Structure 1
Amino acid sequence: MNIEAQRTQTPLYLQVAHRLERQIISGERAVGSLLPPEAELAQQLGVSRHTVRQAIAQLRKKGMLVARKGVGTRVEAARTDWRERFRNNSRDDLFEFANESEFFIRVKERREMRGKLATEIGCRPGRRLIYMAGPRHFIGEPLPFCWNEVFLDPIAWEVVEDLQVQRTSLFQQIEQRTGERIEEIQQEIRAVEIPDEICEGLNRPRGTIGLRITRRYLASGGRLMEYAVQTSPADSFAYRTNLSAE
């Protein structure tokens, strides 16, 4: 299918980047091989040369392509190393956390952001986001250790539409399926008295004290792709960081 004909909110150059990425991962475009010249690739994909140039730049950022003057653009790697995108351990921790636990989605709907909620999330009032909520369990454990709430850009609907249990990193799936790239993750941790409705969902008494961890996942230009809230009773979760002297 000509990419121009696809009906999506994802920018065209990201659609092209995502398609090329799938071809590289599948081996259709092998590691070590050269991409066709820009004009030829644009004709193959049914897009402009400018769009192809933007898509290639996106994959060069991921380390999947490398451009050599006088040689061309070569396929460098079949997979991006997610862990090398950030210079501290926080992103690794998020992957481990997602892979060792299960998010059971009890609520999934579109919500309009207003008032304090819009301010907290950092989006304009009136913006409609995908909202999901439910308990998270460590795999094999019957009791939840936290309550998760997630607010997503509507572009992620194809990722979560049929999702009932989340067992992998959600923001990684969004990157892979939409072509969007998470450039920054902002995290904040606060001690809180857990709201009554969340206590009920976690089978905890009212007034339980816990940790509230919020994370903003920002794409290029500071655009919010995901806002996640994790609320954990104090006795069920610990956050550990290793600091090294330089």
Structure 2
Amino acid sequence: MARRPTKRVPRYREIATILRSELAEEVYSLGGLFPKELDLCERFQCSRFTIRNAMAELEAAGLVERRKATGTIVRALQPAGSYVQTINSVEGLLQYAKGTKLDILEMIELQTDSELAEWFDLEEGTRIIRFGGLRTETETGRQLCWTEIYIRPEFSELLNFIGKDDRPVYRIIEDEFDEKVHKVEVELSACGLTDKRATQLDVDDGTAALRVHRVFTASDGRVLEVSISDHPEDRHSYHLEFSYETLGS
């Protein structure tokens, strides 16, 4: 039987592999300018189309970022892996894994609009509190998402407890305010990051993101907490795993 010819690696991928290696070896400075397309064309003796395909691979891996006015910037020397949260219980759906922390950067007292009023089953214009902050990996400091937490006004002292230990917010409400979460609704959806959120997470305006929306409800039907977390597309994923025994318990 005749042997199949070895499939040749595309030229742009060969170039991308070389450039990845050079980034890992710190040939280029983090935050510095990456070589221009024309310079790379001359170096590798190839077309601009080939270089653009190679650069697209580096950009998709989060290694470089092309900016109109500045040029191509080195964003990372190694591909950044996304934060994977493995969930194998209902409890796991309610919180982030250990090894992350939430830093509260803003607290705003606002009046409910129609959407918030519906969430909390309150009249429009009712006073409510919103916390906002960045969740990061404790070890690396890498930003994972922007989180907004909406709570009832009677839980305003919650800020005194967040960040003091690794308890999730709903657990603090249970422990410190003598409440009990009876039901949790979790909704995953896609969204685009606005200019403000994109800046806070160090990504481009309009970057695709995974939105995790949680609603925590007491047994009497009162909504205790609503949280909305937006994760840039390459920084978080969920791995769900349930057994029949777990689901039935």
Bin for the TM-score computed over the shorter chain: 0.5 to 0.7
Within 5 Å, give how 1:57-96 maps onto structure 2: 89-95=89-95
Q: State the secondary structure of the residue aligned to 2:198.
A: helix
Aligned partner of 2:199: which letter?
E
Distance 1:93 1:143 in 2: 22
Post-superposition shift, 1:203?
Answer: 0.7
Q: Alpha-carbon deviations, 1:14-33, whole Å to 9, x = none?
A: xxxxxxxxxxxxxxxxxxxx
Within 5 Å, give how 1:219-234 maps onto structure 2: 219-234=218-233
Inter-CA distance 144–121: structure 2 relative to 1 (3 Å threshold): farther
Which structure is higher in helix share? 1
Distance 1:122 1:205 in 2: 36
Within 5 Å, give how 1:192-207 maps onto structure 2: 192-207=191-206
Query: Where do 4+ consecutive residues of structure 1 move more than 2 Å?
Result: 92-95, 115-124, 161-168, 243-246
Distance 1:191 1:231 in 2: 9
Inter-CA distance 165–135: structure 2 relative to 1 (3 Å threshold): farther
Inter-CA distance 178–162: structure 2 relative to 1 (3 Å threshold): closer
Which structure is higher in strand share? 2
Are the equivalent residues in 2 in contact too, given 1:106–1:134 (CA < 8 A)?
yes
Post-superposition shift, 1:224?
Answer: 0.7
Q: Alpha-carbon deviations, 1:190-232, whole Å to 9, x = none?
A: 0111222111110110110011111001012110110000100
Unaligned runs of 5+ in 2: 1-87
Tell me what 1:218 maps to: 217
Distance 1:129 1:166 in 2: 24
Are the equivalent residues in 1 in contact too, given 2:119–2:223 (CA < 8 A)?
no
Tell which has more relative contact order, 1 or 2 (C-alpha 8 A, sep 6+). Answer: 2
Unaligned runs of 5+ in 1: 1-87
Distance 1:108 1:98 in 2: 24
Tell me what 2:156 maps to: 157
Q: State the secondary structure of the residue aligned to 1:106.
A: strand
Post-superposition shift, 1:159?
Answer: 2.7
Cα root mean square deviation, aligned: 2.3
Q: Alpha-carbon deviations, 1:41-61, whole Å to 9, x = none?
A: xxxxxxxxxxxxxxxxxxxxx
TM-score (norm 1): 0.58
Distance 2:244 2:91 in 1: 20
TM-score (norm 2): 0.57
Are the equivalent residues in 1 in contact too, given 2:186–2:213 (CA < 8 A)?
yes
Distance 2:227 2:176 in 1: 19
Aligned partner of 1:169: which letter?
P
Post-superposition shift, 1:120?
Answer: 5.5
Inter-CA distance 112–208: structure 2 relative to 1 (3 Å threshold): same
Distance 1:217 1:208 in 2: 28
**Identity of counterpart residues, as a percentage?**
24
Aligned partner of 1:94: which letter?
L
Tell me what 2:80 maps to: none
Distance 2:123 2:186 in 1: 20
Tell me what 1:148 maps to: 147
Q: State the secondary structure of the residue aligned to 1:230.
A: strand
Q: State the secondary structure of the residue aligned to 2:230.
A: strand
Are the equivalent residues in 2 in contact too, given 1:98–1:167 (CA < 8 A)?
no
Distance 2:159 2:131 in 1: 9
Are the equivalent residues in 1 in contact too, given 2:121–2:222 (CA < 8 A)?
no
Are the equivalent residues in 1 in contact too, given 2:99–2:138 (CA < 8 A)?
yes
